Structure formats: C-alpha cells, structure tokens
Chains A and B, each alone.
Chain A
Amino acid sequence: MLHVLCSMIKMWKNYVYAFCITVAIFATAFYLGNYFGDKKINELRATESQIALDILSSETEFALLGELSCPEAQNSLLSQELNSLGEKLDYSEEKFGTDNSDVIALKKQYSLLEIKDYLLIKKLKDCPRSPVTILYFYADNCPNCEREGYVLTYLREHYPELRVYSFDFNLELSALQTLASIYGITAEKLPVLVIKRTPQSGFKTVEEVKALLPELRTTTPTKTD
C-alpha cells in the first residue's frame, strides 16, 4: 500500500512542482504588470493636477489683468501638455480597457480640463495670433469617428496653432453633457465638429475642415512634404 503511494507521489510530484513554479512566474508577471500600470495611472494623475494648477493660475492672471489684455505667452505650453496627456489617455484606454474605472476617472478630469482651457482660450479671441479651436465629439461605437480622429491628428500635426478639444460623448459628466446640449449634439449626429460655434455633423475630410477654417492656411505648416 505504502509502496503504491510512494510511486504515485514519485510520478506526480514533478507535475505539481512545475505547476507551482509556473504559477509563481505568472503571479510575478501579473504583479509587475500591475505595478507599472499603477505607475502610469499615477503619472497621468500627477500631470492632470499639474495642468489643473496651471489653468487655475492662468485664470487668476486673467482676473487680475482684466479681459482687455492679450498676454504674450498665450499658454501654448499648456495646450501641448493637454495634447500629450490626450495621447497617453488613448494609449491607456487601449491597454487597460475602456471600462477601467481609473481610466474613466482620468478621462473625466481630462475633459473638464479641456473645457476650462477652451473657455480660457475663448477670452483671447480678439487678440492677434489667437489659436484656432475645434470641439470634437466622438463615441466608441460611431462608424466614422475613427476616420475623423485621423483627420484631426493630421491637422494638429500640420498646424500647431490649431487646438482640438476632443470629448467622448458617452462619458457621464454633467459639464460635458451641458456643453453638448449647447450645440444640440445627439448620439446619431456623431462625429460632430464644432467650428466657430457651428456644429458640423458627419465625417469631414481634411479639405472640408480647411475650407471651414480659412485662417489655417495663413499659418505656416511645420512640415513640408
């Protein structure tokens, strides 16, 4: 009896060892994956609070100087930071999933920062070299949004003066819903570009967008190709 048991153990023990080691390797890999994932989320959080601080500072500046002045800096750096934050959020959505609660929270915060930046920029509209803005409403399941996204990326790369504020229409954020309702945007109309306060529904090519924004042509593209 004991002999049978011994031979059973001898036969199976390496399977058990191998299983334990493999599980340990997997556990370590998951731990590392989570660790770096958290690090990335934290980096995004830190960037967002930094941007929030910058916006608050700009707002305060405006309040102090009054609306008549046109500041030199025009917070161009801030907008760049928002851009790169947007890219990182897109990447995080792809990696961690669109239903990740951290990512959703970061996205909400990001949308709010965009709205605030947009409001700030609007105050500069009478200044020389004031940036050109587009509000872009999209959704995950909308058929032409992916293509519109490529068009806007292209335009942003070629015209640094252009500021695109993109909003996920399905994000449950009251400020965002209010902004959408101002322009009468509904889910069926997506993708929607708001150019000069006029909502443009449906896919727009690069040329169509350029036609709506004649001042873009006057700015020199950074790249010639």
Chain B
Amino acid sequence: MNHLSNLTFYVTLFFALYFEVFMLINFWEKRLAIKTEETKMARLFPSVTVIVPVFNEEKTVTKTVFSLLKLDYPKDKLKIIIVDDGSTDETRHIIARFRNHKRVEIIRKPNGGKYTALNAGLARTKTDLVGCLDADSFVPSDTLKKIVPYFENEKIMAVTPAIKIHQPDRFIRHVQSNEYNLGIFMKKCFGIINAITVTPGPFSIFRKEVFDKLGLFREAYNTEDLEIAMRMQKNFYRITNAHTAVVYTVGPGTLRKLYRQRVRWIYGFLANTIDYRSVLFRRKHGHLGLFILPAALVSVMLFFISAGMILWNVFTAIQKKAIEIQSVGLQWHWLRFHFDWFFLNTDSKTFLSLVLFSATVSLILYGKKISEKKTGFSFHTLYFPFVYSVFSILWLSKALYALAFSKKTGWR
C-alpha cells in the first residue's frame, strides 16, 4: 500500500507539473505576440448586441445593465437585449426602468431555462457580433474595446474575456478570486494553443454567423456556454482569449452555492466531453483533442486516486493515534518537542510538492498581472491550493456520482 501511495503521488505530481510547464512554455514562446496584442487599439467598430438573460435577479440586474450602457463604444453600434425568463420576483418592474432607453430592448417570455432566454435574444439579433452578460456580472467601460480588435482576424469566431471576482469580501470569494486569476493565465494559454473549451456566460463575444451556421444554444446539461465552445471546436471555429478584457462577477457567497455551481460545471464538462468524444485523440483537433481534453479527464481520475490515498494515509494516522490512546491514554508529545533537523522531511516528495506549490502560486500571480497590469500579493493565495483541493473532492465526487447515476437511468 505504501508503494502504491508513493507511485500515485509521483504520477500525479509529474502530471500536474508537466501540465504547468507545458503551459508556461507556450506562453513564453508567444510572449512578444501577447505584448503586441495588448497595445492593439480598436480601429473598426462592428455592431454588437449584448444579451442579458435574467431570472429573479432583482438585486444585481440594474448594475449589470448600467455597466453595459456605460461601455466606451459608439452608441449606434451597441444594442442591449434584456430577456426576462419569467422572473417571479421584482425583476420585471426593476428592468422596466430601461424601457425608454433607445439602445435597450426588453423581452419577457415564460420560464424555459437560460439557453431559451439566450436563444430568444439571438432571434432578435441583427448585429455582426453578439455576446451575453449574466446578470451577476458587470463590465468596466473599456472591456468591449479590448475585445473587438481580435475580430479583425477573420478566422476568429469568438473571444473570451478575463473573468475576475469583484471585490472578494469573504473567505469563499477569496478562494474563487485566486482560482479565477489562475484561470486567466490558463485560458490565455488555451487560447494560444487553440484549445478553449468554454466560452463563459459573462461577456464572451461571438460572430453572429456562428449561430446562423451552427445553430442556437442547447440545453447541454445546463452548461450551454461549454457546449457551444465544443461545437465550435468540432467545426474548427477559432476561439481566442482577450486577457486584458476584464469582466467582474460576484461569485457564490456560500460553500453550498459554490458547490452547486461547480457540480453543474464539472458534470456539464464531463457530459459534454462524452457527447463530443469524436474530438478526442484526433490529430486534426490539435492540442485540444490530443492533450487538453484527455488531460482534463486524466486529471479528474488522478485527483480521485490521490484523494483516496490521502484519505487512506489520514485514516492510518488516526488508527495509529487510536492504538496509542488505547494503550496509554491521550498524550501530548509536543511538551517534549525540541527542534532537530533530522526530523525535517527532506525526501524528494517534499521538494516536488514545493516546486508544484510555487509554480501554482506564480501562475496565479501571473494571471493577476496580465489582466490587471499590476502585481500584488495576497496571503489568500498561499492557502488557496490546499483549500481548493479539499473543496474539489466534494464537487468532483458529486459530479461523477451524478454522471454515473444518470447514465444508469438513461439505459432503462
């Protein structure tokens, strides 16, 4: 069991380090091109529609719409469609205040789920570009101007932004804030190697023709933003990332809500990957099919095995302590503690963990740097990798359980 535990540890660590190193190499290789991207100014202003799907979001919708109205973009080129997906709270009256804005259109429809709201908006869209902004998110005024230049390349069909947590106020949001900063770096790298697997609800912008040619949004296990990206990848539509185009989202405020969101995401990712398995291991799908998607699946698996091993180790440690208590009662050994370097853990696993930890922390700081153009260090980053792994066990198990379970019911 000890050998097995060691092997799992080394394999997991090798895999995680390899992934991070691979991303860093790709980023480093394109560093000059990335610098040029950052200085690029918008010259053309294509017409844009932003769809805001709302369902019972009375508290946040005003801020979301106002942030869109304040976007620094030619007034005649930007249209906003608010789709009220049958809200049952005050949302309906709150969004009524935008009725007289020339650039705002309000659609009310019976509740049918987010993808139906988006499709209702798409049906009214006549612009070159179309995007979506969830009602729990909002944009700084320069965001759209930073996205639009990417569409000067005719091959680019969609652009994803850099999503950040707005003023994290509590533990659970600090954790997410670090996660999102890490995500910013990763998404940029995925963009570089053309392997983006999700065009997130907050402010991903598409060419309208994507929907004309590939069809509308689908239910897709409540992750329509994942499905459309996969569908685009399958059809060789290019998606890239605008790392300086910041979008703020609030993020779930309790572990319970975060847990639900993540179970939905992971379940959606796994289920959609199964649906689009034809992309896997195909050379024509490049890094996405050969590495990123398989790696994601392998990492879920490795994560589980490692988590199992860690639990087993914790279990044996507890068992040992129980035997001790059973033999001589509860003892506090720290009373006779004295420092001796001999008992410092100096094996290779310690060094590898340190490398992985520092690599992860630097990627988080890097993500923060490329999106904000400023560096800063918060102590929340230090505990993030540990807290996040523990949390991940929760939602990964539930998502896998749900996946296995729904499969079973499907077969009947």
The 0/1 profile, CB within 8 Å of B marked 1, for residues 1-43 of chain A is 0000000000100110111011001101110111011001001
CB-nearest residue of chain B to A95: B347
> B409 contacts the other chain (Cβ, under 8 Å)?
no
A150 with B347: in contact, given A26-B14, A157-B336 (CB under 8 Å)?
no
Chain B 332-361 residues near chain A, CB threshold 8 A: 335-336, 342-343, 346-352, 355
Query: In the complex the two chains form, is B14's CB within 8 Å of A22's CB?
Result: yes
CB-nearest residue of chain A to B350: A33
> B33 contacts the other chain (Cβ, under 8 Å)?
no
Query: In the complex the two chains form, is A11's CB within 8 Å of B25's CB?
Result: no
Within the complex, the shortest CB–CB distance from A203 to chain B, in Å, comes to 8
CB-nearest residue of chain B to A39: B346
The 0/1 profile, CB within 8 Å of B marked 1, for residues 118-135 of chain A is 000000000000000000
A150 with B22: in contact, given A29-B355, A32-B348, A33-B351 (CB under 8 Å)?
no
> A146 contacts the other chain (Cβ, under 8 Å)?
yes
The interface residues of chain A lying within 8 Å CB-to-CB of B347 are: 33, 36-37, 95
The interface residues of chain B lying within 8 Å CB-to-CB of A34 are: 348
A151 with B22: in contact, given A30-B348, A37-B346 (CB under 8 Å)?
no
Query: In the complex the two chains form, is A18's CB within 8 Å of B25's CB?
Result: yes
Contact with A19, one of B18, B320, B355 (Cβ below 8 angstroms): B18
Chain B interface residue count, CB cutoff 8 Å, equals 31
Cα distance, A114 to B26, chains bound together (Å): 60
Q: Which of B156-164, B200-208, B322-330, B379-387 contacts A (4 or more CB under 8 A)?
A: B322-330
Contact with A11, one of B286, B328, B348, B351 (Cβ below 8 angstroms): B286
The 0/1 profile, CB within 8 Å of A marked 1, for residues 13-24 of chain B is 010011001100
Query: In the complex the two chains form, is A28's CB within 8 Å of B327's CB?
Result: no
Within the complex, the shortest CB–CB distance from B192 to chain A, in Å, comes to 10
The interface residues of chain A lying within 8 Å CB-to-CB of B17 are: 22, 25-26
The interface residues of chain B lying within 8 Å CB-to-CB of A26 are: 10, 14, 17, 348, 352
The interface residues of chain A lying within 8 Å CB-to-CB of B286 are: 11
Query: In the complex the two chains form, is B18's CB within 8 Å of A29's CB?
Result: no
**Chain A facing B: main interface SS:** helix
Query: In the complex the two chains form, is A28's CB within 8 Å of B342's CB?
Result: no
> B331 contacts the other chain (Cβ, under 8 Å)?
yes
Place the interface of chain A in its size category. Answer: 20 to 34
> B38 contacts the other chain (Cβ, under 8 Å)?
no
Cα distance, A62 to B26, chains bound together (Å): 73
Within the complex, the shortest CB–CB distance from B36 to chain A, in Å, comes to 20
The interface residues of chain B lying within 8 Å CB-to-CB of A22 are: 14, 17-18, 21
Within the complex, the shortest CB–CB distance from B124 to chain A, in Å, comes to 42
A147 with B326: in contact, given A14-B22, A19-B18 (CB under 8 Å)?
yes
Query: In the complex the two chains form, is B25's CB within 8 Å of A29's CB?
Result: no
Cα distance, A147 to B17, chains bound together (Å): 41
> B291 contacts the other chain (Cβ, under 8 Å)?
yes
> B29 contacts the other chain (Cβ, under 8 Å)?
yes
The interface residues of chain B lying within 8 Å CB-to-CB of A36 are: 346-347
Within the complex, the shortest CB–CB distance from B39 to chain A, in Å, comes to 26
The interface residues of chain B lying within 8 Å CB-to-CB of A197 are: none
Chain A 24-71 residues near chain B, CB threshold 8 A: 25-26, 28-30, 32-34, 36-37, 40, 43
CB-nearest residue of chain B to A14: B25
- Across the A-B interface, give the 6 residue pairs with the lowest CB-CB distance, nearest first: A33-B348, A36-B346, A18-B22, A29-B351, A154-B328, A150-B327
22 sample A-B contacts, Cβ–Cβ < 8 Å, listed by A number:
A11-B286, A18-B18, A18-B21, A22-B17, A22-B21, A25-B17, A26-B14, A26-B17, A29-B348, A29-B351, A33-B348, A33-B350, A36-B347, A40-B342, A40-B346, A147-B326, A147-B327, A148-B327, A150-B328, A151-B327, A154-B327, A157-B331
4 additional A-B pairs beyond A29-B352, A43-B342, beta carbons within 8 Å, are A36-B347, A153-B328, A154-B331, A205-B327
Hey, which bits of chain A sit against chain B, CB under 8 A? 11, 14-15, 17-19, 21-22, 25-26, 28-30, 32-34, 36-37, 40, 43, 88, 91, 95, 146-148, 150-151, 153-154, 157, 205-206, 223
